[in-house]
Chain A
Protein backbone atom coordinates (compact mmCIF):
# COMPACT_ATOMS: atom_id res chain seq x y z
CA UNK A 1 0.00 0.00 0.00
CA UNK A 2 2.64 2.48 1.14
CA UNK A 3 6.35 1.89 0.93
CA UNK A 4 9.43 3.71 2.13
CA UNK A 5 12.51 3.04 0.04
CA UNK A 6 15.87 3.87 1.69
CA UNK A 7 14.17 6.76 3.46
CA UNK A 8 16.09 9.18 5.67
CA UNK A 9 14.64 12.06 7.66
CA UNK A 10 16.71 14.85 9.19
CA UNK A 11 15.68 17.44 11.75
CA UNK A 12 18.40 20.06 11.43
CA UNK A 13 21.64 18.17 12.01
CA UNK A 14 19.92 15.23 13.71
CA UNK A 15 19.19 12.17 11.57
CA UNK A 16 15.91 10.84 12.95
CA UNK A 17 15.52 8.09 10.34
CA UNK A 18 18.41 6.49 8.45
CA UNK A 19 18.06 4.50 5.27
CA UNK A 20 14.79 2.80 6.24
CA UNK A 21 13.01 0.50 3.80
CA UNK A 22 9.59 -0.70 4.82
CA UNK A 23 6.57 -1.84 2.85
CA UNK A 24 3.10 -1.86 4.34
CA UNK A 25 0.68 -4.45 2.95
CA UNK A 26 -3.11 -4.40 3.17
CA UNK A 27 -4.31 -5.97 6.42
CA UNK A 28 -0.96 -5.59 8.20
CA UNK A 29 -1.00 -5.00 11.93
CA UNK A 30 2.43 -3.56 12.60
CA UNK A 31 3.95 -2.45 15.88
CA UNK A 32 6.97 -0.15 16.01
CA UNK A 33 9.09 -0.86 19.05
CA UNK A 34 12.22 0.80 20.38
CA UNK A 35 13.56 3.18 22.99
CA UNK A 36 12.67 6.88 23.10
CA UNK A 37 14.28 8.70 20.18
CA UNK A 38 14.68 5.53 18.13
CA UNK A 39 12.64 6.98 15.25
CA UNK A 40 9.23 5.34 15.76
CA UNK A 41 7.20 8.54 15.55
CA UNK A 42 9.27 9.82 12.64
CA UNK A 43 8.67 6.57 10.74
CA UNK A 44 4.90 7.00 11.25
CA UNK A 45 5.09 10.60 10.05
CA UNK A 46 7.15 9.59 7.04
CA UNK A 47 4.58 6.90 6.16
CA UNK A 48 1.86 9.58 6.27
CA UNK A 49 3.99 12.03 4.28
CA UNK A 50 4.01 14.60 7.08
CA UNK A 51 7.80 15.00 7.10
CA UNK A 52 9.99 15.60 4.07
CA UNK A 53 12.47 12.85 3.22
CA UNK A 54 16.12 13.93 3.09
CA UNK A 55 16.85 10.84 1.00
CA UNK A 56 14.90 7.91 -0.43
CA UNK A 57 11.30 7.77 -1.60
CA UNK A 58 7.78 7.29 -0.32
CA UNK A 59 5.83 5.20 -2.82
CA UNK A 60 2.07 4.78 -2.78
CA UNK A 61 1.37 1.51 -4.53
CA UNK A 62 -2.37 1.76 -5.02
CA UNK A 63 -4.73 3.76 -7.17
CA UNK A 64 -6.59 5.59 -5.78
CA UNK A 65 -4.20 6.37 -2.92
CA UNK A 66 -5.18 4.71 0.33
CA UNK A 67 -6.85 7.02 2.81
CA UNK A 68 -4.54 7.50 5.81
CA UNK A 69 -5.54 8.73 9.27
CA UNK A 70 -3.32 9.27 12.27
CA UNK A 71 -3.95 9.35 16.00
CA UNK A 72 -1.40 11.08 18.22
CA UNK A 73 -0.39 10.51 21.83
CA UNK A 74 -1.86 13.88 22.84
CA UNK A 75 -4.74 14.54 20.45
CA UNK A 76 -5.39 18.18 19.60
CA UNK A 77 -8.98 19.11 20.30
CA UNK A 78 -10.35 22.43 19.10
CA UNK A 79 -12.21 24.66 21.56
CA UNK A 80 -15.57 23.43 20.33
CA UNK A 81 -17.93 20.49 20.72
CA UNK A 82 -16.76 16.90 20.53
CA UNK A 83 -19.02 16.38 17.51
CA UNK A 84 -17.44 19.32 15.64
CA UNK A 85 -13.99 17.96 16.44
CA UNK A 86 -14.91 14.58 14.99
CA UNK A 87 -16.34 16.33 11.93
CA UNK A 88 -13.11 18.22 11.25
CA UNK A 89 -11.55 15.70 8.86
CA UNK A 90 -14.84 15.49 6.95
CA UNK A 91 -15.11 19.29 6.73
CA UNK A 92 -11.65 19.29 5.17
CA UNK A 93 -12.91 16.68 2.67
CA UNK A 94 -15.71 19.13 1.76
CA UNK A 95 -18.37 16.60 2.76
CA UNK A 96 -21.93 18.08 2.85
CA UNK A 97 -23.02 19.07 6.34
CA UNK A 98 -25.88 16.59 6.85
CA UNK A 99 -23.76 13.68 5.67
CA UNK A 100 -20.74 14.56 7.80
CA UNK A 101 -22.88 15.14 10.88
CA UNK A 102 -24.42 11.71 10.48
CA UNK A 103 -21.00 10.10 9.89
CA UNK A 104 -19.46 11.87 12.90
CA UNK A 105 -22.35 10.82 15.15
CA UNK A 106 -21.92 7.24 13.99
CA UNK A 107 -18.19 7.47 14.79
CA UNK A 108 -18.94 8.80 18.27
CA UNK A 109 -21.42 5.98 18.85
CA UNK A 110 -18.74 3.57 17.70
CA UNK A 111 -16.34 4.73 20.41
CA UNK A 112 -19.06 5.06 23.06
CA UNK A 113 -19.06 8.86 23.20
CA UNK A 114 -22.45 9.66 21.63
CA UNK A 115 -23.63 11.16 24.93
CA UNK A 116 -20.67 13.57 24.91
CA UNK A 117 -21.29 14.87 21.36
CA UNK A 118 -22.42 18.31 22.52
CA UNK A 119 -19.79 18.77 25.22
CA UNK A 120 -16.69 20.89 24.66
CA UNK A 121 -14.03 18.37 23.66
CA UNK A 122 -11.41 19.78 26.02
CA UNK A 123 -13.68 19.07 28.99
CA UNK A 124 -13.41 15.35 28.28
CA UNK A 125 -10.98 13.13 30.21
CA UNK A 126 -7.70 12.12 28.54
CA UNK A 127 -9.13 8.68 27.74
CA UNK A 128 -12.31 10.17 26.28
CA UNK A 129 -10.27 12.62 24.20
CA UNK A 130 -8.23 9.74 22.83
CA UNK A 131 -11.45 7.90 21.96
CA UNK A 132 -12.73 11.07 20.28
CA UNK A 133 -9.47 11.19 18.30
CA UNK A 134 -10.04 7.58 17.26
CA UNK A 135 -13.59 8.51 16.22
CA UNK A 136 -12.18 11.44 14.21
CA UNK A 137 -9.77 9.09 12.46
CA UNK A 138 -12.40 6.38 11.93
CA UNK A 139 -14.90 8.91 10.54
CA UNK A 140 -12.76 9.51 7.46
CA UNK A 141 -13.01 5.76 6.75
CA UNK A 142 -9.26 5.21 6.54
CA UNK A 143 -7.56 2.33 4.78
CA UNK A 144 -4.52 2.85 6.96
CA UNK A 145 -4.55 3.93 10.59
CA UNK A 146 -1.33 5.26 12.10
CA UNK A 147 -1.22 5.34 15.89
CA UNK A 148 1.56 7.15 17.75
CA UNK A 149 1.71 5.85 21.33
CA UNK A 150 -2.09 5.96 21.52
CA UNK A 151 -2.35 4.77 25.13
CA UNK A 152 0.91 6.06 26.61
CA UNK A 153 -0.63 8.74 28.83
CA UNK A 154 -3.81 6.94 29.84
CA UNK A 155 -4.85 5.20 33.04
CA UNK A 156 -5.36 1.41 32.91
CA UNK A 157 -9.13 1.58 32.31
CA UNK A 158 -8.86 4.12 29.52
CA UNK A 159 -5.91 2.18 28.12
CA UNK A 160 -8.04 -0.96 27.92
CA UNK A 161 -10.94 0.89 26.27
CA UNK A 162 -8.71 2.45 23.63
CA UNK A 163 -6.92 -0.83 23.02
CA UNK A 164 -10.24 -2.63 22.51
CA UNK A 165 -11.27 -0.02 19.94
CA UNK A 166 -7.97 -0.37 18.08
CA UNK A 167 -8.47 -4.15 18.02
CA UNK A 168 -12.02 -3.69 16.67
CA UNK A 169 -10.87 -1.29 13.94
CA UNK A 170 -8.10 -3.67 13.00
CA UNK A 171 -10.51 -6.65 12.89
CA UNK A 172 -12.68 -4.56 10.58
CA UNK A 173 -9.88 -4.68 8.02
CA UNK A 174 -8.17 -1.33 8.61
CA UNK A 175 -4.44 -1.67 8.08
CA UNK A 176 -2.65 -0.46 11.16
CA UNK A 177 0.78 0.71 12.29
CA UNK A 178 1.24 1.58 15.91
CA UNK A 179 4.20 2.73 17.94
CA UNK A 180 4.15 1.47 21.50
CA UNK A 181 6.27 0.99 24.61
CA UNK A 182 3.79 -1.52 25.94
CA UNK A 183 5.00 -4.94 24.85
CA UNK A 184 1.88 -6.66 26.18
CA UNK A 185 -0.14 -4.42 23.90
CA UNK A 186 2.20 -5.21 21.01
CA UNK A 187 1.63 -8.91 21.61
CA UNK A 188 -2.15 -8.44 21.70
CA UNK A 189 -2.55 -6.09 18.75
CA UNK A 190 0.25 -6.71 16.25
CA UNK A 191 1.22 -9.56 13.98
CA UNK A 192 4.36 -7.86 12.69
CA UNK A 193 6.99 -6.00 14.73
CA UNK A 194 9.66 -3.54 13.64
CA UNK A 195 12.43 -2.89 16.12
CA UNK A 196 14.12 0.51 15.68
CA UNK A 197 17.29 1.90 17.19
CA UNK A 198 18.95 5.25 16.44
CA UNK A 199 16.74 5.75 13.39
CA UNK A 200 17.43 2.35 11.83
CA UNK A 201 15.17 -0.69 11.54
CA UNK A 202 17.15 -3.54 13.09
CA UNK A 203 14.42 -6.19 12.95
CA UNK A 204 11.27 -6.63 10.86
CA UNK A 205 9.76 -9.89 12.01
CA UNK A 206 6.47 -11.54 12.90
CA UNK A 207 5.13 -10.85 16.38
CA UNK A 208 5.66 -14.50 17.33
CA UNK A 209 9.27 -14.36 16.18
CA UNK A 210 9.86 -11.10 18.03
CA UNK A 211 8.91 -12.58 21.38
CA UNK A 212 10.51 -15.99 20.87
CA UNK A 213 13.70 -14.89 19.06
CA UNK A 214 16.32 -15.12 17.83
CA UNK A 215 16.77 -11.35 17.36
CA UNK A 216 19.72 -9.02 16.78
CA UNK A 217 21.65 -8.39 20.02
CA UNK A 218 20.34 -4.81 20.40
CA UNK A 219 16.72 -6.01 20.19
CA UNK A 220 17.39 -8.85 22.63
CA UNK A 221 18.93 -6.38 25.10
CA UNK A 222 15.92 -4.06 24.70
CA UNK A 223 13.52 -6.93 25.35
CA UNK A 224 15.51 -7.98 28.42
CA UNK A 225 15.32 -4.38 29.70
CA UNK A 226 11.56 -4.18 29.11
CA UNK A 227 10.77 -7.72 30.21
CA UNK A 228 13.48 -8.56 32.78
CA UNK A 229 11.76 -11.81 33.74
CA UNK A 230 12.14 -13.26 30.21
Chain B
Protein backbone atom coordinates (compact mmCIF):
# COMPACT_ATOMS: atom_id res chain seq x y z
CA UNK B 1 0.00 0.00 0.00
CA UNK B 2 2.86 2.36 0.93
CA UNK B 3 4.67 1.57 -2.29
CA UNK B 4 1.51 2.27 -4.28
CA UNK B 5 0.95 5.57 -2.48
CA UNK B 6 4.57 6.62 -2.96
CA UNK B 7 4.43 5.70 -6.64
CA UNK B 8 1.21 7.61 -7.09
CA UNK B 9 2.66 10.72 -5.44
CA UNK B 10 5.78 10.55 -7.60
CA UNK B 11 3.62 9.99 -10.66
CA UNK B 12 1.64 13.15 -9.89
CA UNK B 13 4.92 15.03 -9.43
CA UNK B 14 6.16 13.75 -12.80
CA UNK B 15 2.99 14.88 -14.55
CA UNK B 16 2.88 18.22 -12.74
CA UNK B 17 6.55 19.01 -13.37
CA UNK B 18 6.22 18.24 -17.09
CA UNK B 19 8.90 15.52 -17.08
CA UNK B 20 10.60 15.69 -20.54
CA UNK B 21 10.55 11.95 -21.11
CA UNK B 22 6.89 11.73 -20.19
CA UNK B 23 6.08 14.67 -22.46
CA UNK B 24 8.00 13.11 -25.36
CA UNK B 25 6.08 9.85 -24.99
CA UNK B 26 2.71 11.62 -24.71
CA UNK B 27 3.55 13.82 -27.72
CA UNK B 28 4.44 10.83 -29.90
CA UNK B 29 1.29 8.99 -28.79
CA UNK B 30 -0.85 11.93 -29.86
CA UNK B 31 0.98 12.38 -33.16
CA UNK B 32 0.71 8.69 -34.11
CA UNK B 33 -2.92 8.24 -33.04
CA UNK B 34 -4.11 11.55 -34.50
CA UNK B 35 -2.50 10.73 -37.87
CA UNK B 36 -4.00 7.23 -37.80
CA UNK B 37 -7.42 8.66 -36.88
CA UNK B 38 -7.36 11.23 -39.70
CA UNK B 39 -6.25 8.59 -42.24
CA UNK B 40 -8.71 5.92 -41.17
CA UNK B 41 -11.59 8.38 -40.70
CA UNK B 42 -11.14 9.76 -44.22
CA UNK B 43 -11.11 6.26 -45.68
CA UNK B 44 -13.79 4.89 -43.33
CA UNK B 45 -16.24 7.73 -43.96
CA UNK B 46 -16.14 7.24 -47.73
CA UNK B 47 -16.18 3.45 -47.50
CA UNK B 48 -19.08 3.48 -45.01
CA UNK B 49 -21.09 6.00 -47.03
CA UNK B 50 -20.49 4.06 -50.25
CA UNK B 51 -21.52 0.81 -48.58
CA UNK B 52 -24.71 2.49 -47.33
CA UNK B 53 -25.87 3.36 -50.86
CA UNK B 54 -24.20 0.86 -53.13
CA UNK B 55 -26.24 -2.31 -53.78
CA UNK B 56 -24.19 -5.20 -55.13
CA UNK B 57 -24.06 -8.97 -54.92
CA UNK B 58 -22.34 -10.03 -51.72
CA UNK B 59 -23.05 -6.73 -49.94
CA UNK B 60 -24.51 -8.50 -46.91
CA UNK B 61 -21.34 -10.58 -46.69
CA UNK B 62 -19.19 -7.44 -46.75
CA UNK B 63 -21.29 -5.91 -43.96
CA UNK B 64 -20.95 -9.06 -41.82
CA UNK B 65 -17.18 -9.03 -42.45
CA UNK B 66 -16.97 -5.33 -41.60
CA UNK B 67 -18.91 -5.83 -38.37
CA UNK B 68 -16.65 -8.76 -37.53
CA UNK B 69 -13.61 -6.52 -38.01
CA UNK B 70 -14.97 -4.31 -35.19
CA UNK B 71 -13.63 -6.97 -32.84
CA UNK B 72 -10.34 -7.32 -34.69
CA UNK B 73 -7.63 -8.27 -32.13
CA UNK B 74 -4.85 -5.71 -32.24
CA UNK B 75 -2.12 -8.35 -32.04
CA UNK B 76 -3.48 -9.92 -35.25
CA UNK B 77 -3.25 -6.54 -36.97
CA UNK B 78 0.24 -6.16 -35.53
CA UNK B 79 1.25 -9.57 -36.82
CA UNK B 80 -0.08 -8.96 -40.35
CA UNK B 81 1.48 -5.49 -40.63
CA UNK B 82 4.73 -6.88 -39.18
CA UNK B 83 4.82 -9.60 -41.84
CA UNK B 84 4.05 -7.10 -44.61
CA UNK B 85 6.70 -4.60 -43.49
CA UNK B 86 9.43 -6.99 -42.34
CA UNK B 87 12.50 -7.16 -44.56
CA UNK B 88 11.32 -10.40 -46.18
CA UNK B 89 7.75 -9.11 -46.58
CA UNK B 90 6.22 -7.61 -49.74
CA UNK B 91 6.53 -4.06 -48.37
CA UNK B 92 9.91 -4.62 -46.70
CA UNK B 93 11.73 -2.42 -49.21
CA UNK B 94 10.09 0.68 -47.69
CA UNK B 95 12.12 0.08 -44.52
CA UNK B 96 9.50 1.50 -42.18
CA UNK B 97 9.21 -1.35 -39.68
CA UNK B 98 9.95 -0.07 -36.15
CA UNK B 99 9.17 3.53 -37.13
CA UNK B 100 6.17 5.72 -36.19
CA UNK B 101 4.92 5.28 -39.81
CA UNK B 102 4.47 1.55 -39.18
CA UNK B 103 2.54 2.35 -36.00
CA UNK B 104 0.28 4.75 -37.90
CA UNK B 105 -0.43 2.03 -40.47
CA UNK B 106 -1.22 -0.55 -37.78
CA UNK B 107 -3.55 1.80 -35.88
CA UNK B 108 -5.23 2.89 -39.13
CA UNK B 109 -6.02 -0.72 -40.03
CA UNK B 110 -7.34 -1.31 -36.56
CA UNK B 111 -9.57 1.75 -36.49
CA UNK B 112 -10.81 2.05 -40.12
CA UNK B 113 -13.37 -0.78 -39.75
CA UNK B 114 -14.88 0.98 -36.72
CA UNK B 115 -15.32 4.22 -38.66
CA UNK B 116 -16.64 2.45 -41.77
CA UNK B 117 -19.10 0.24 -39.87
CA UNK B 118 -20.52 3.05 -37.72
CA UNK B 119 -20.70 5.43 -40.69
CA UNK B 120 -22.48 2.80 -42.77
CA UNK B 121 -25.06 2.29 -40.03
CA UNK B 122 -25.63 6.01 -39.41
CA UNK B 123 -25.91 6.90 -43.10
CA UNK B 124 -28.09 3.90 -43.95
CA UNK B 125 -30.54 4.64 -41.12
CA UNK B 126 -30.82 8.29 -42.15
CA UNK B 127 -31.16 7.34 -45.83
CA UNK B 128 -34.02 4.98 -44.99
CA UNK B 129 -35.85 7.88 -43.35
CA UNK B 130 -34.95 10.73 -45.68
CA UNK B 131 -33.29 9.35 -48.81
CA UNK B 132 -36.47 9.49 -50.85
CA UNK B 133 -36.94 13.20 -50.17
CA UNK B 134 -33.37 13.89 -51.28
CA UNK B 135 -33.82 11.81 -54.42
CA UNK B 136 -37.02 13.73 -55.17
CA UNK B 137 -34.84 16.86 -55.27
CA UNK B 138 -32.61 15.25 -57.86
CA UNK B 139 -29.81 13.81 -55.70
CA UNK B 140 -27.99 10.73 -56.98
CA UNK B 141 -27.54 7.88 -54.47
CA UNK B 142 -23.98 8.97 -53.68
CA UNK B 143 -25.03 12.63 -53.35
CA UNK B 144 -27.73 11.45 -50.92
CA UNK B 145 -25.05 9.71 -48.84
CA UNK B 146 -22.80 12.78 -48.85
CA UNK B 147 -25.66 15.10 -47.85
CA UNK B 148 -26.71 12.72 -45.08
CA UNK B 149 -23.11 12.35 -43.88
CA UNK B 150 -22.80 16.13 -43.72
CA UNK B 151 -26.12 16.39 -41.89
CA UNK B 152 -24.99 13.72 -39.43
CA UNK B 153 -21.64 15.45 -38.92
CA UNK B 154 -21.97 15.55 -35.13
CA UNK B 155 -22.63 11.81 -35.00
CA UNK B 156 -19.71 11.19 -37.34
CA UNK B 157 -17.44 13.45 -35.29
CA UNK B 158 -18.34 11.24 -32.34
CA UNK B 159 -17.28 8.24 -34.44
CA UNK B 160 -13.92 9.93 -35.09
CA UNK B 161 -13.46 10.52 -31.35
CA UNK B 162 -14.27 6.87 -30.64
CA UNK B 163 -11.69 5.93 -33.28
CA UNK B 164 -9.06 8.15 -31.65
CA UNK B 165 -9.84 6.64 -28.25
CA UNK B 166 -9.38 3.14 -29.64
CA UNK B 167 -6.14 4.13 -31.38
CA UNK B 168 -4.45 5.87 -28.47
CA UNK B 169 -5.29 3.14 -25.95
CA UNK B 170 -4.09 0.29 -28.19
CA UNK B 171 -0.93 -1.57 -27.19
CA UNK B 172 -0.48 -4.91 -29.01
CA UNK B 173 -0.09 -3.78 -32.61
CA UNK B 174 2.12 -0.73 -31.93
CA UNK B 175 4.35 -2.84 -29.69
CA UNK B 176 4.88 -5.37 -32.48
CA UNK B 177 5.45 -2.99 -35.40
CA UNK B 178 6.96 -0.10 -33.43
CA UNK B 179 9.30 -2.08 -31.22
CA UNK B 180 8.92 0.31 -28.25
CA UNK B 181 12.26 2.03 -28.98
CA UNK B 182 12.97 4.83 -26.49
CA UNK B 183 12.67 8.26 -28.07
CA UNK B 184 11.62 6.79 -31.43
CA UNK B 185 8.54 4.58 -31.17
CA UNK B 186 7.75 4.54 -27.46
CA UNK B 187 4.17 5.61 -26.85
CA UNK B 188 2.10 5.73 -23.66
CA UNK B 189 0.71 2.20 -23.77
CA UNK B 190 3.97 0.47 -24.69
CA UNK B 191 5.86 2.57 -22.14
CA UNK B 192 3.42 1.62 -19.39
CA UNK B 193 3.91 -2.08 -20.23
CA UNK B 194 7.71 -1.73 -20.25
CA UNK B 195 8.07 0.46 -17.15
CA UNK B 196 5.81 -1.85 -15.17
CA UNK B 197 7.94 -4.85 -16.11
CA UNK B 198 11.07 -2.87 -15.13
CA UNK B 199 9.50 -1.88 -11.83
CA UNK B 200 9.46 1.88 -12.58
CA UNK B 201 5.95 2.25 -11.31
CA UNK B 202 5.85 6.08 -10.96
CA UNK B 203 6.47 6.67 -14.71
CA UNK B 204 4.04 3.88 -15.62
CA UNK B 205 1.42 5.32 -13.28
CA UNK B 206 2.03 8.86 -14.54
CA UNK B 207 1.52 7.73 -18.12
CA UNK B 208 -1.53 5.77 -17.02
CA UNK B 209 -2.96 8.95 -15.49
CA UNK B 210 -2.41 10.90 -18.70
CA UNK B 211 -3.95 8.10 -20.76
CA UNK B 212 -6.96 7.88 -18.48
CA UNK B 213 -7.33 11.64 -18.60
CA UNK B 214 -7.27 11.56 -22.42
CA UNK B 215 -9.93 8.83 -22.51
CA UNK B 216 -11.98 10.71 -19.91
CA UNK B 217 -11.69 13.91 -21.94
CA UNK B 218 -12.82 12.07 -25.08
CA UNK B 219 -15.86 10.68 -23.28
CA UNK B 220 -16.75 14.11 -21.92
CA UNK B 221 -16.45 15.51 -25.45
CA UNK B 222 -18.62 12.73 -26.91
CA UNK B 223 -21.20 13.24 -24.16
CA UNK B 224 -21.20 16.99 -24.73
CA UNK B 225 -21.65 16.56 -28.47
CA UNK B 226 -24.50 14.09 -27.97
CA UNK B 227 -26.13 16.32 -25.36
CA UNK B 228 -25.78 19.39 -27.55
CA UNK B 229 -27.38 17.61 -30.49
CA UNK B 230 -30.17 16.01 -28.44
CA UNK B 231 -31.05 19.22 -26.63
CA UNK B 232 -31.01 21.05 -29.94
CA UNK B 233 -33.34 18.53 -31.56
CA UNK B 234 -35.67 18.46 -28.54
CA UNK B 235 -35.76 22.25 -28.50
CA UNK B 236 -36.75 22.05 -32.14
CA UNK B 237 -39.37 19.40 -31.50
CA UNK B 238 -37.54 16.80 -33.55
CA UNK B 239 -37.40 13.18 -32.38
CA UNK B 240 -33.70 12.33 -32.51
Contact = CB atoms under 8 A, between A and B. Distances in A.
* Chain A partners chain B: yes
Interface of A: 45, 48, 50, 68-70, 72, 75-76, 78-80, 88-89, 92-93, 120, 122-123, 126, 136, 140, 146
B142 to A, nearest CB: 12
A89 B147 CA distance: 12
6 contacts: A68-B136, A70-B136, A72-B136, A122-B232, A122-B233, A122-B238
Contacts of B143: 92
Contacts of B237: 126
A45 B131 CA distance: 13
Given A89-B137, A92-B143, A93-B138, A78 B238 contact: no
A123 B236 contact: yes
B132 A75 contact: no
Given A122-B233, A123-B236, 11 more contacts: A45-B132, A50-B135, A50-B136, A69-B136, A72-B132, A76-B129, A76-B130, A79-B151, A88-B137, A93-B138, A140-B137
A76 B133 contact: yes
Question: Interface of chain B, helix or strand or loop or mixed?
Answer: helix
B134 interface: yes
A129 B233 CA distance: 14
Contacts of A79: 151
A152 to B, nearest CB: 16
B75 interface: no
A92 B235 contact: no
A207 B238 CA distance: 37
